[in-house]
Chain A
Amino acid sequence: MNAFPSSTFFSAAPEWGWLITLYFFFGGLAGGSYFLASLIDLFARPQDRPLSRLGFYIAFPCIVISGILLTFDLHRPLRFWHMLIESNTYQPMLKLWSPMSVGSWALVIFGAFSFVSLLGALADAERIPWPAWREVHPPSILGRFVAVIGGIFGFYVAGYTGVLLAVTNRPIWSDTPVLGLLFIVSAASTSAALMILLADRWQWSMPGLLDLHRFDAWVIALEFIILITLMISLGPVLRAWLNAWGLLLLLGVVGVGMLAPLALYWRGSGQRNMMISAALVLVGGFLLRVVIVFSAQGV
């Protein structure tokens, strides 16, 4: 057997640790919640509007947390703006072929959309005394426009991190092209789960919750298929998971985060099942990012 299954095994680890892992989790929640909120606003019933507002309430704080995590992960945090402005010329800094460069801009733009949508949602719920902000919330034309464009950016924020990992030379990360796909689907499942949990905490019982629960089951099934596809696409590099990380992936991500919630869904959509299932999905989604981030750097 070849000692090095891929030429990626000669690169060095960037030492992206817990801050980045948490960012991947919160960034996914921000993008996914925004997207789901937009989807509910555009397609679901009027009585589900509190659910969509909840999505916008989640997205903004999560994207703010993401920005803070990313800034503190830099070895020179005060230079965070170098991602956006070229520090020697003060010209805009954008490399379309560098996911980190485009992602930095996407975070800023998505942050702006999240803020506007947050105000829209607050105005819609009459929690702020500026009714004019209702216009940026569906069903108005402007509101629909904001929801669609913001939702697309939300997806970008949720998925670009996977592409960023692929556009390196680290083992696992750059040995498969489906990490972005996995992160997007996982962002959707964890976001739906968080919305279900928070809705339950406030004892909401709109019909959209059941839709969200069913949606989550579908997405988890899809995520499971994608994870298997990822493993197959790794080929001989899959050996890098023949260790504790692989075990955590199997038990924590697949077992706790995918199969257990699916089994609970099959048993019925009782309140208790929905809650446990949602909590497990969140745990699994976090563990997925832990395994992906850390396992590739321990090689």
Chain B
Amino acid sequence: MAEPMGFYTDTTVCIGCKACEVACKEWNQLPSTNGGVNTLSGDSYDNTRRLDGIHWRHVKFIEQFTEDRKDGRWLLMSDVCKHCVHAACLEVCPTGAITRTEFDTVVIQSDACNGCRDCIAACPFGVIDINPVSGTAQKCTLCYDRLQSGLEPACSKACPTQSIQFGTIKELQGRAQKRVEQLHQSGEQRAYLYGADERMLGGLNSFYLLVDKPEVYGLPPDPKMPTRNLAAGSMFSVLGALLVGLLGVFNFRDRGAREEQRRRENEETRP
């Protein structure tokens, strides 16, 4: 296996140009929304709205302004699949369409997916959706085809500010840690890394430098694996089956036994 590869996204230098979105769409030949008819969301400069089957990159615009708008800041973040080391989508996929590649990234094989949508409900980040053209679940592949040819993904290649950086996870972690320290030294104490280490789903192969709480960026503070409920859910279900079974036996057998007893008593008392 090649060394694990991924993205480190420094949200503090994102300028919201959406070059990553465009590069992603072009390289992966993703169709336009609504046949290209422009509809505005009314939510800041964000008309992409969310990650889905035809938007594998999404630049989020978070406006933090005071009521009188005298003070404030923009938080910009280019969102993408996190290529989790412990991937929820891969775990639940019933067709085996979702696989882990030699670069430790997570890819959906469109020819194997049947559009059951279990992965959509499983992903804690809301990354996956159905591509209406293929009828299959789709998301960022971390440009698997480009990686196989020794190229870097289209989005990071297009990013003009190096907000999206591509490389080996080890190298990116070192770079990100230095950047956090630099920001702390320059007075931005809120800077921290989201998903850079293995505490979060074994590590996110696409991790972030943030300067506010995860939920402000629309990220779950404590994402978990869906199978956390499997053992308890199964045991409670078995308990349910036992309870219903007992109630059934009790209700159907009870009367049968009583009638049998009555019949025997009648026979015994008969002369």
Contacts and interface: CB of A to CB of B under 8 A. Distances in A.
Interface of A: 3-4, 7-16, 35-36, 39-40, 43-45, 48, 73-77, 79-80, 82-83, 86-88, 93, 95, 97-101, 104, 152, 155, 159-160, 162-170, 173-174, 177-185, 188, 207-208, 211-212, 214-215, 218-219, 222, 226
Interface string B226-270: 111110111011011101110111111101100100000000000
Interface centre among A10, A88, A207, A211 (most CB of B within 10 A): A10
Contacts of A166: 229-230, 233
DSSP majority for the A interface? helix
Given A169-B123, A185-B243, A162 B233 contact: yes
B54 interface: no
B88 interface: yes
Nearest to A154: B241
Nearest to A226: B240
B269 to A, nearest CB: 22
Interface in B103-142: 109, 111-118, 120-130, 135-136
A4 B218 CA distance: 10
Interface centre among A7, A9, A73 (most CB of B within 10 A): A7
B128 A76 contact: no
A219 B246 CA distance: 11
B86 interface: no
B56 to A, nearest CB: 14
Contacts of A173: 121
Nearest to A168: B121
A87 B229 CA distance: 28
A82 B97 contact: yes
A211 B251 CA distance: 6
Given A44-B256, A180-B236, A219-B247, A82 B95 contact: yes
Given A163-B234, A181-B240, A211-B255, A13 B94 contact: no
B92 interface: yes
Contacts of A13: 120-121
A87 B237 contact: no
B223 interface: yes
Contacts of B130: 15, 75
30 contacts: A7-B124, A8-B124, A10-B219, A10-B220, A11-B122, A13-B120, A15-B130, A35-B245, A39-B252, A43-B249, A43-B252, A44-B256, A74-B114, A76-B135, A76-B136, A79-B114, A87-B95, A88-B109, A93-B96, A95-B94, A162-B233, A163-B233, A169-B223, A174-B229, A177-B233, A178-B233, A180-B233, A180-B237, A180-B240, A185-B244
Contacts of A40: 252
B113 to A, nearest CB: 7
Interface in B196-241: 215, 218-224, 226-230, 232-234, 236-237, 239-241
Interface centre among A4, A11, A155, A160 (most CB of B within 10 A): A11
Given A7-B223, A14-B121, A179 B255 contact: no
Contacts of A168: 92, 118, 121-122, 226
A169 B88 contact: yes
Contacts of A16: 117, 121
A81 to B, nearest CB: 9
Q: Sort A-B residue pairs by CB-CB distance and give the 9 closest, nearest first.
A: A75-B115, A180-B237, A79-B114, A12-B126, A177-B232, A168-B121, A7-B220, A181-B240, A14-B117
Interface range for B? 35 or more
Contacts of B240: 159, 180-182, 184-185, 226
Given A9-B220, A188-B244, A215-B252, 16 more contacts: A10-B218, A13-B120, A14-B118, A15-B120, A44-B256, A75-B114, A79-B115, A88-B109, A98-B93, A100-B116, A160-B237, A167-B230, A174-B226, A177-B229, A177-B233, A180-B240
A76 B251 contact: no
B241 A184 contact: yes
Contacts of A177: 229, 232-233, 236
Contacts of A86: 95-96, 112
Interface centre among A9, A43, A83 (most CB of B within 10 A): A43
Contacts of B126: 10-12
A80 B94 CA distance: 11
A88 B233 CA distance: 32
Contacts of B113: 76, 79, 82
A4 B222 CA distance: 11
B120 A14 contact: yes
Nearest to B111: A87
A222 B121 contact: no
Contacts of B237: 159-160, 162-163, 180-181, 183-184
A16 B120 CA distance: 10
Contacts of A3: 215
Contacts of B46: none
B252 A93 contact: no
B125 A10 contact: yes
Given A14-B121, A160-B237, A180-B234, A207 B244 contact: no
A90 to B, nearest CB: 12
